[in-house]
Every structure is written in C-alpha cells, then in structure tokens.
Copies of this chain bind each other. A is one copy, B any other.
Amino acid sequence: MQLALDEAWKYQFLTYPNPAVGCVILDKNKQILSIKAHEKAGCEHAELNAIKTALQNLNPKLIIPNEPNLAHEFICKNHNNLLKDALAFVTLEPCNHQGKTPPCARLFAKLKFKKVFIGTKDENDLASGGALFLKQNGVKVQMGILENKAKELIKPFIKWQNGTFKLFKLALSMNGSMLGKIVSNELSRTYAHKIRSVIDILAIGGQTIRKDRPILDSRLCSSKAPNLCIFSKQNLDSFDKEIPLFKVKERKIYTQLPKNTKFIMYEGGENFFKTFKDEMDMFLIFQSSILNTSKSLCVNAKFKPLYKSTFNDDNYGIYELLND
C-alpha cells in the first residue's frame, strides 16, 4: 500500500478535479506486477492503468488501446484469466459508476481478482459503492489499509469537492533564498508548470510582478497558461503592460478571487508568504543543492511533510503548516 501511496503522490494536484489514487497489482504468488497511479483527469483511473500494465507484463504481445473506454472493453474480452486470483492494493475505494471512464470495481470482478485491499472509503455518493459491488461479486475486500495516509492523500480532493483548496509554492536555495530568477531545476519547474496548467487561478503579488517581470505560463509542459489573480494595493492600470504576463493570450486577470474557484496556487516572495501562509491548505516546497549569498526567507513556520521526493539534485516536499 505504501508503494501505491507513493506512486499517487507523484501526481498529486495534477489529477484535479479528481483524487490522486495509486494502485499496485500482485499475482497470486504475491509478486508485484505493476505500480500505477491516476495521472490526470480524463485519463485512465489508477486501477485500469495498473491492470493494463500488469496484463502487458504477463503477455507482452497484448496491445491494449489507450482510450479508457476502449481499454476497459478490450480487457474484458481479452484478459484470458491472466489476473485470476490476483491481488490489488488501491489507495481509494474503486469507483462503481460510469463517469468519463467505466467503473473500476466491475473490472476487478470481471477479471476474477481474489482480493482488493483498500486504503480508505470513497465518500463521494456518486462514485462510491465499489467495495460493496466487489463483495457481492465474489471479490474479497479489506478496507482501511494505512488509512490515515490514504486520507492525507485525498485531502486536496475533499477540499475541491466542498470548498477551495489553496496551495503555496515556494522555491528555495539550500540556504533558503528565493531568487526572482531560476532557483529550482527544469524537472522541478516542469512539475510546477503542470500544476499551473490545471489550477483555476494562480495568485500572485504586485511586488513580485514589478520586481521579477514574470510570464507565469506553463511553457515547460506546453500547456495553457493559468488565469491570474493579482493581489496589489495598486490599481492594475499602474503596472507596466510590457511585463510578459500581460501579453499571454486568452488569459483572464482578476484582482479578487472569482466565485467557484476550487483550486488556487499562490506563488510569491517573503511578504506574500507571510500574508497568506495561515490560510493555506498545503505547501509545495522545492529546495536546490546550492548555497548562495542572497537574502534568505526570514519567517517562522514549522511544517509537517506529507510527501518528500527529489527531482535530480533538487529536493521537494508537500507539507502542511503545523500550529505552534
């Protein structure tokens, strides 16, 4: 289950508005066949992704269509009982409804899985019922495996459903400086650009705009630039319109958060961080392997890491703020 959780965290935020979900499939001898996650809304669910990979590991000649509905249909017809008595670990209860993709619970039952271990229950009325369906169709179910960690993983998803999820992105050098220019490496910045490409709004301060003259787009993943909300004491008209972010086509710029904004990322410097840190849900912090002589972030904040990993020489982590 820990492997499924770690795989899911790699795609955290990128699955918006869907939950991050991971799935590990083992054969009947408990050997790992696949470790996969839901990577992006509209793409296959973690379960289908893992089942595809497991089948292809068992039969490399099998060519499974990419499109989730076609893949589902193809697998139901061509599984050849290859996954009979297999085991699955899924971080979230498999869905039981036809959304953009067909229900995963039915796939486990159809392929005659022996047992599905589930991290935590799906509280979404529409998609839930997967565990019950599995049990009714001869698949054993064990619920609540590493449940606290499984619940942490879907915190953004829970917030997206019922309110606004706010994420603060920080990029620091090893000594905590936040240069306006490039601090983190290309892989780190690509992950940040992928998040920019799915959020509703990127929140930014007037000070950063004037000082760094940024473009704030998603060029590293060749995706749509985010709409902006600029928090500034000054009127928007007072900004130099030659600053690149104003030249991005089809971008909306707000000065107040529009209604029904469910996912906001905040990017900025020390003052912006101080102003907004206490209303954030999570923090994404990149940290490079470089010491420099620029001014370091000077603020008190104690974090609880939810997930830590690296992009080459950079460390990064997803944190919650701890109250003193």
- Chain A residues engaging chain B, CB cutoff 8 angstroms: 31, 172-177, 285, 287, 289-293, 296-305, 308, 310, 313, 315, 317, 319
Contact = CB atoms under 8 A, between A and B. Distances in A.
Counting from the closest, the 5 A-B pairs by CB-CB distance are A175-B176, A296-B296, A176-B176, A291-B301, A289-B303
Instruction: Select the residue from A175, A176, A289, A302 with max chain B CB neighbours within 10 A.
Output: A175
Nearest to A31: B31
Contact of A176 (B174, B301, B304): B174
A172 B303 CA distance: 15
A299 B173 CA distance: 12
B289 A317 contact: yes
A299 B177 CA distance: 11
26 contacts: A31-B31, A173-B176, A174-B303, A175-B175, A175-B176, A175-B297, A175-B298, A176-B176, A176-B177, A176-B291, A176-B296, A287-B315, A289-B302, A289-B304, A289-B317, A291-B300, A291-B302, A291-B303, A292-B299, A292-B300, A293-B298, A293-B299, A303-B313, A304-B313, A305-B310, A308-B310
A131 B315 CA distance: 38
